[in-house]
Amino acid sequence: MTKKFNQYLGKAGHLSIMSEFLMLGWNVAIPEVDNGDDIFVVQDDNGILRRVQVKTSMSTGRRNSFSAQFYVSIQNLKNITNILVHYVFLVRHNNEWYKPIIIRQDYLLDHFEKNNFQSDTKDSLTLYFSYSENKVICSGFDFSKYVSDFSDFPKIEH
């Protein structure tokens, strides 16, 4: 894949997940300057703000499954503030977006620190996801509970 294709893929992933938040009744905005937040998701009536970092990848086909890899900045992952980041891992498989993996920053950091997730460098964490019919495994650990986990984004009726 070319760098230009990756830019298109990344923007398409952002817009896809933004549409999901909108369908749940949340307002969305793209920050003018990307300092680790790709999307701000806001509950208008009470001002609840969620920060979102979207990671996109193309799938690699396997015999009965597919896989994808994502890169996460370790510095951003460890930068815990009063408003946690929600990481959304979105993979394009067979010309469709697969169900997103949505995991809060503190949970992902906990997996990284306690489960000895490996990083290729001291700056970037490489996450390998394997998708099968009933499971999503990330670097050897079951991440299935994070599939389409919009629990921090409950549907808002307008």
Q: What is the CATH number of the domain that holds 62?
A: 3.40.1350
Q: How confident is the model at residue 7 (pLDDT cuts 50, 70, 90)?
A: very high
Q: Is the pLDDT of residue 122 over 80?
A: no
Q: Which amino acid is at 98?
A: Y
Q: Taking the C-alpha atoms of 51, 56, 59 and 60 in order, what is their torsion angle to the nearest 10 degrees?
A: -110
- Does residue 82 form part of some domain? yes
Q: Band the pLDDT of 123: cuts 50, 70, 90.
A: confident
The confidence score (pLDDT) of residue 127 equals: 92
Residue 36 in domain: yes
Considering the domain boundaries, does residue 155 fall inside one? no
Q: Which residue has the higher pLDDT, 3 or 137?
A: 137
pLDDT in tens, 128-147: 999 998 899 998 899 999 99
Q: What is the mean pLDDT of residues 2-12?
A: 91
Position 48 scores a pLDDT of 94
Q: Which two tokens mark 49?
A: 């703000």
Residue 23 lies in a domain: yes
Per-residue confidence (pLDDT) for residue 114, from 0 to 100: 84
Q: Is residue 66 part of a domain?
A: yes
Q: Give the structural domain span for 110.
A: 3-146
Contacts 24+ apart (CB under 8 A), 72-75: 72/108, 72/124, 72/125, 72/127, 73/36, 73/123, 73/124, 73/125, 74/112, 74/119, 74/122, 74/123, 74/124, 74/125, 75/123
**Does the structure show a pLDDT above 70 at 120?**
no
**The predicted structure's pLDDT at residue 97:** 96
Domain membership flag for residue 85: yes
64-114 residue pLDDT tens: 899 999 999 999 999 999 999 999 999 999 999 999 999 999 999 998 888
Please say if the pLDDT value at position 45 is more than 70: yes
**Domain membership flag for residue 69:** yes
Burial class (CB in 10 A: 0-12, 13-18, 19+), 92: middle
Domain count, the chain: 1
Residues for the chain: how many in total?
Answer: 158
Residue at 151 is within a domain: no
Average pLDDT, the chain: 92
